[in-house]
Amino acid sequence: MSQPQINIDHLFRPADKESLHSDKIARPYESYGKEVIRKVVKNKMAVFGFVLLVVIILLSIFGPHMVSHTPSKQNLTQGNLPLSSEHWFGTDDLGRDVWARTWAGARISLVIGFAAAIIDLIIGVFVGGVSGYMAGRGKTGDRIDNLLMRIVEVLFGIPYLLVVILLMVMMKPGITTMIIALSITGWVGMARIVRGQILQLKQQEFVLAAEKLGTSHAKIIIRHLLPNMMGIIIVNLTFTIPSAIFAESFLSFLGLGVQAPTASWGTMANDSLGVILSGQWWRLFFPGLMISLTMFAFNAFGDGLQDALDPKSK
């Protein structure tokens, strides 16, 4: 037997165990939110994406005010100037400042992106939530679920582009039309994800327990179901936003979205198509770069968030 060096003979007497209580919790406590933030911070790409997003958002707010030119002010004598201390990103053929226009465009992109997110949250989460929760709850429940899912399926089959084109015919093209088009179809993906999540969560014993204890349907959805799928909802949003932004730029580029002379990354790219061969690369480069950076930033952040929300990750 390994004898400790020091004399311990006097220690062989019953210990006072009052001071011990074995149901104590030893591990330092970390809230779920903090844990997620810690994991995201550890992920370099996610942090980079997040910083990039903040910069883009700040510039979209303050960018146009940092120069003395307004985005739509024309000055034909100053057309097609390269980058200079006067015009940081150069000018276009009408002499408008590309820097100012780029950040004005960013506003449109972000508005569309966040509109898509809000629509996803309001319509998508609501429809998915109700449909998933009602499924399997007697005949009426199944009927509600079936009805909502039919609607989702039908909408899922209609391409966004088609809806936009149809709406353009009926209304005038622009950001409002695009947001309306988004509200018609944009939320179906979210609705499906939320419904699937709810179907799964509903089987969990804690939801059964709440039901057994007489908790109301609304409370079960709000206190038990939604908080446990917040992660997935947020991750899904970080992917909805960039795809809406891309859709806006693409449609504007095609002339189906925001109309000239309003500055949008899509219209700016379109305007410059004819001239890049003549060497005015900045007119296409900056809107193009911003589209790519924004998409990248959202996706990198979303990926990091997704990993961080995965309980298996350390």
Partner 1 sequence: MSEYVLEVQEVKKHFKMGARKTVKSVDGISFAIRKGETLGLVGESGSGKSTLGRTIVGLYETTSGNVLFNGENTSNLNGKEKKELSRQMQMIFQDPTASLNPRMKVGDIIAEGIDAYKLLRGKERKERVIELLEKVGLHADHAKRFPHEFSGGQRQRIGIARALAVNPSFIVADEPISALDVSIQAQVINLLEDLQKEQELTYLFIAHDLAMVKHISDRIGVMYMGKLVELTTSETLFQDPLHPYTHALLSAIPVTEPKLRGTRERIMLSGDPPSPLNPPTGCPFRTRCPNAIEKCGEEMPKWKEIKEEHWVACHLF
Partner 2 sequence: MSHLLEVDDLKVSFHVSSGEIQALRGVSFHVNSGETLAVVGESGCGKSVTAQAIMGMIPSPQGRVKEGRILFKGQDLTKFNKKQFRSVRGSEIGMVFQDPMTSLNPTMKVGSQIDEVLVKNQKLSKKEAKQKTIELLKLVGISDASSRYSQYPHEFSGGMRQRVVIAIALACNPELIIADEPTTALDVTIQAQILELLKKLQKERNTSIMLITHDLGVVAEVADRVAIMYAGVVVESGRVEEIFENPKHPYTWGLLNSVPKLESSEKERLIPIEGSPPDLFAPPKGCPFAERCPFTMEVCLEHMPGKEVFSENHQARCWLNDPRAPKNEELIAAGRE
Question: Toward partner 2, which CB reaches closer, 11 or 277?
Answer: 11
* Whole-number Å distance between alpha carbons of 40 and 144: 39
Question: Toward partner 2, which CB reaches closer, 3 or 77?
Answer: 3
Nearest to 130 by CA among 221, 243, 37, 36: 221
Q: Which stretch binds partner 1 (CB under 8 A): 20-28, 51-59, 115-123, 239-247?
A: 20-28
Residue 23 engages partner 2 in binding (rule: CB under 8 A):
yes
Q: Which stretch binds partner 2 (CB under 8 A): 15-23, 182-190, 229-237, 261-269?
A: 15-23
Check the CA dihedral 276-281-286-288 and report its sign.
Answer: positive
Question: Toward partner 2, which CB reaches closer, 13 or 212?
Answer: 13
- For residue 9, the partner it binds in partner 2, partner 1, none, with Cβ less than 5 to 8 A by kind, is partner 2
* Whole-number Å distance between alpha carbons of 207 and 215: 9
Residue 11 engages partner 2 in binding (rule: CB under 8 A):
yes
Quick one: which of 10, 13, 172, 212 contacts partner 1 (CB under 8 A)? 212
Question: Toward partner 2, which CB reaches closer, 9 or 205?
Answer: 9
Residues found in the chain? 314
Nearest to 199 by CA among 140, 259, 137: 137
Q: Which stretch binds partner 1 (CB under 8 A): 6-14, 124-132, 151-159, 218-226?
A: 218-226
Sequence-distant (6+) residues with CB within 8 A of 100 are 63, 64, 67, 69, 70, 71, 263
Q: Restricting to residues 219-248, name those near partner 1 by CB under 8 A.
A: 219, 223-224, 227-228
Residue 209 engages partner 1 in binding (rule: CB under 8 A):
yes
β-sheet bridge partners, residue 91: 97
Here the tokens at position 46 are 């996610």
Question: Toward partner 1, which CB reaches closer, 216 or 292?
Answer: 216
Q: Restricting to residues 33-62, name those near partner 2 by CB under 8 A.
A: 38
Question: Toward partner 2, which CB reaches closer, 34 or 217?
Answer: 34
Q: How far is the CB of 64 from partner 1 (least distance, A)?
A: 42
What residue spans of 158-281 are helical by DSSP H?
Answer: 160-170, 175-185, 188-202, 205-212, 217-219, 230-253, 265-272
Here the tokens at position 52 are 């990039």
Quick one: which of 146, 200, 204, 313 contacts partner 1 (CB under 8 A)? 204
Name the one residue in this structure whose structure tokens are 């030893």: 26
Q: How far apart are the first and last CA of the chain?
A: 40
Quick one: which of 10, 13, 17, 27 contacts partner 1 (CB under 8 A)? 27
Amino acid letter for position 140: T
* Whole-number Å distance between alpha carbons of 35 and 263: 41
Amino acid letter for position 244: A
Residue 26 engages partner 2 in binding (rule: CB under 8 A):
yes
Amino acid letter for position 53: L
Residue 17 engages partner 1 in binding (rule: CB under 8 A):
no
Name the one residue in this structure whose structure tokens are 């009426």: 140
Amino acid letter for position 103: W
Q: What is the contact mask toward partner 1 in residues 111 to 140, using x (rule: CB under 8 A)? A: ---------------------------x--
Question: Toward partner 1, which CB reaches closer, 10 or 212?
Answer: 212
- The answer to whether 254 touches 237, Cβ cutoff 8 Å, is no
Q: How far is the CB of 248 from partner 1 (least distance, A)?
A: 35
Binding site for partner 1 (CB under 8 A): 21, 23, 25, 27, 29, 31-32, 138, 204-206, 208-216, 219, 223-224, 227-228
